[in-house]
Structure 1
Amino acid sequence: MGVTVALAESRLARHKETLEAFLAEAYRSEAVDLDDAAPLTGGAIQENWLLDLRIHGGPDAGQKQVVLRTDAASGVAVSRSRAEEFTLLQVAKAAGVLVPEPLWLCEDPAVLGKTFYVMARAEGTAAPHRFTKEPDLGGDRERLAERLGMELAKIHSIQPPREELSFLGEPPAHPALVAIERYRDYLDSLGALSLALEWGLRWCELHAPPSGAAVLVHQDFRTGNYMIDRQGLTAILDWEFCDWGDPMSDIGWFCAKCWRYAQPELEAGGIGSRAAFYRGYADVTGRSLDPQVVAYWEVMAHLRWAVIALQQGERALSGEEDSLELALTGRIYPPGLEGEILRCTEPALWRAAP
């Protein structure tokens, strides 16, 4: 098999022999050949590589594809380490969440120069533009929305205290207020001045609903972070932002208009109805959702995404990472998000709410 330019110019090529030796030991094989590696699109924070392997001897002998995940050149402050993310995958899988199987973690810098982990490849695609253009992807979309609600409920079944998740620290007493303070600090550190974002932060501070029991929240559960094939859901991805928090924050993030892409009328992630998503969640938890509380967390979702977009732009503008995509993220998204925040906090909407 020919070696791509991406592999030839990557860190993987410079550490090819040590990586092959690590994989050979992990697979309990005589040897492993790394034939090729292709960067996977969609991971804006970390590097993801699809590895083509030939395994010589052992129980898994033959050709195999796996995914290697490691740190990008720069990151964002709230991103979990790869070691922590690997543990989160293990905990989620044990809870019955549909995730790519976590295989091996390597923290030895002699192998790749930085920490990485290897997981099984999930079939399908996570590309949101394909969801819109190929309506047969994911099977029945209402069933897909329902299934996603069920998977999110399984994540929320993981509750503190958990010894293996001690790196998450103590659950916050009021997750919304903690998040608001953190967003203000980020905006100050970036030197970002936005009256709309300041309005949104103050509005959320004044309208914060009471918090229930803390659970494990994914914090990036949205279209683009799960895999589907022609039949349905195949995996939930990207666990690097997990924390203890309010489960409604994940509901609001998934349903927020900013994550519906080209299908804003489909309130469940741009793929189905809100009713189907809520139904799947309630089927597992046995609890119905309060629409007004979810609406609050949708405002918080737009604030959070605006802050993240500005952070992403700063990664490029600071020179930390040479990326046109990151630079454009910091310029294109915040204005639209500001408009949505103002629309969602229109006083008349909340005066009329029950």
Structure 2
Amino acid sequence: MLRSAQDVQPVLRWMQTELGADKVTCHKAVKLSGGAIQENWRLELQITGGRYDGEQLWVLRTDAPSAVAVSSSRVQEFTLLQAVCGQDVPVPQPICVCTDSSVLGRPFFLMTAVSGQAQGRKLVRDPKLKTTGPGLVAQLGEIMARIHKITPQDEHAQRYELSGLPGYNDSAAVFQIAQMRTALDQLGSAHPVLEYGLNWLEDNLSEWEGTGETVLCHRDFRTGNFLVEDGLCTALLDWEFAGWSDRHEDIGWLCARCWRFGNTHLAVGGLGPFSAFRQAYERISGQLLNVTAIGFWQVMAEIRWAVIALQQAARNRSGQEMSLELALSGYLVPEMEVNMLTLIDEITTGNWQDLDS
């Protein structure tokens, strides 16, 4: 387990063998901010000999001391990065993965560090956003469309054995409702507002289930999980929730009000208008979007983030991982409940106009 820069020595010895290097030196190891579910360390390396000879700036990614059950393993996430890397999807280049628990105590992988800003509150307050926003969300639409071109039957998916990723038998909507109900039951506390939202979604399944083929979804594609530099996305991060789903789930998550960081008038992550995103997405994917279905997936997004926030608070209370960030997550739930109830009211009364821009 990494607790300080000194703990990286076993990793360097493993890297030397794995990469065929004569020597691997770490000049600096810094734990990166964020990463409530996974842990990331930025390593400034000097590698002598082998394929990666020279100075390297890499990120070591491993599990946090406690984790969310639906999160993929580091091996699965590494494989995903390999799979999408060649599909014109901007991601950090995956370097190598270690499953030997004697090295660090748990699996980890190494990937290239990518420049850019990821903090949502800074991105939505960029003075240049009025100019760069439409182009940025159009690029996000193109990136998401390329991911969604990968299907379970796709040769690319079979080559990287992606069939083992989380998926569903009936419909993505039914599967997600069941997942959220199970997660709430496991928390051991009552959350009637979230249960009401799930009941409403179930009562209206005919409006949003079965709206498209099964595709590879990132399932955490949102402001805060991609890097932006000079108005362009340089890398899409945090693939631990990826799985097979309905394409509209990813879009509803990106456009959820909880991920706009105060820029409520800009539907796509608080960064730009939905029209720019939609045009780019449909052009690359060749698929027309069901905008009505996206509204229901927005409701699900508020519920899902509320459940994750409750799970994070529970991790702190368990004593497995004491963290102020995790502890405060539970206090975000009322905000998601208000967003959810407001969306339900707008959709029910015909006043939902979130994606009209």
Q: In the alignment, is the contact (CA less than 8 A) between 1:95 and 1:158 conserved in 2?
A: no
Aligned to 2:292: 292
1:37–1:52 Cα contact (<8 Å) kept? yes
2:262 alignment counterpart:
262
Q: Residues of 2 paired with 1:138 and 1:166: CA distance?
A: 41
Q: State the one-letter code of the partner of 2:188.
A: G
The answer on whether the counterparts of 2:168 and 2:175 sit within 8 Å (CA) in structure 1 is: no
CA gap 1:128/1:352 in 2 versus in 1, 3 angstroms: closer
1:306 is matched with 306
State the match for 2:37 in structure 1: 45
The equivalent position to 1:168 in structure 2, one of 165, 169, 181, is 165
The letter of the residue matching 2:147 is I
SS in structure 1 of the partner of residue 124 of structure 2: helix
Specify the SS of the correspondent of 1:227. strand
Structure 1 counterpart of 2:123: 131
Match runs of 1:92-111 below 5 Å = 92-111=84-103
Q: Distance in 1 between matches of 2:267 and 2:121?
A: 16
The one of 11, 14, 31 aligned to 2:7:
14
- TM-fit CA distance, 1:311: 0.4
Partner residue of 1:3?
none
Amino acid corresponding to residue 302 of structure 2 in structure 1 = H
Alignment partners' CA distance in 1, 2:168 and 2:86? 21
8 Å CA contact retained: 2:21, 2:50: yes
1:179-228 Cα shifts (integer Å, max 9, x gaps): 11111111111123122111100000111223121111111000000011
Does the Cα contact within 8 Å between 1:153 and 1:281 map onto a contact in 2? Answer: yes
Displaced runs of 4 or more, over 6 A: none
- For structure 1, the 5+ residue unaligned runs are 1-5
The 1-side partners of 2:171 and 2:17 are apart by 46
| Aligned-pair CA distance for 1:59 | 4.6
* 8 Å contact from structure 2 (residues 227, 234) kept in 1: yes
Q: Note closer, same or farther for the CA distance 1:289–1:201 as it changes in structure 2 (3 Å cut).
A: same
| Structure 2 CA distance for partners of 1:137 and 1:44, relative to 1, 3 Å | farther
Say if 2:332 is the partner of 1:340: no
Q: Say if 2:129 and 2:271, in contact at 8 Å, map to a contact too.
A: no
Structure 2 residue 192 is matched with structure 1 residue 195: yes
Q: CA deviation at 1:169?
A: 5.7
Which residue in 2 is equivalent to 1:213? Answer: 213
Is contact 2:97-2:108 (8 Å) kept?
A: yes
In 2: Cα distance, 1:137 partner to 1:104 partner: 36
Are residues 1:326 and 2:318 paired?
Answer: no
Is the 2:137–2:277 Cα contact (8 Å) retained in structure 1? yes
Equivalent residue, structure 1, for 2:355:
none
Identical aligned residues as a percent: 41
Aligned partner of 1:54 in structure 2 is 46
Between the aligned partners of 2:67 and 2:271, the Cα distance in structure 1 is 29
Counting matched residue pairs gives 344
Code of the residue aligned with 1:112 in structure 2: it is L
How far 1:24 moved relative to its partner?
2.2
> 1:245, CA displacement in angstroms?
0.8
Q: Does 1:315 align with 2:315?
A: yes
* Residues 138/103 of structure 1: CA separation in 2 closer, same or farther (3 Å cut): farther
For residues 21-78 of structure 1, the C-alpha deviation after alignment (integer angstroms, 9 at most, x for no partner) is 2222344321010122111112110000000111123453332210010011000010
* Residues 149 and 216, structure 2, Cα contact 8 Å, conserved in 1: yes
**1:313–1:327 Cα contact (<8 Å) kept:** yes
Supply the distance in 1 between the matched residues of 2:328 and 2:279 (Cα, whole angstroms): 37
Q: Does the CA contact (< 8 Å) of 2:149 and 2:215 recur in 1?
A: yes
SS in 2 for 1:345: helix
Note the C-alpha offset of 1:239: 0.3
In 2, distance between residues paired with 1:313 and 1:294? 28
Partner Cα distance (1:351, 1:139) in 2: 34
Task: Indicate how the Cα distance of structure 1 residues 227 and 181 shifts in structure 2: closer, same or farther if over 3 A, else same.
Answer: same
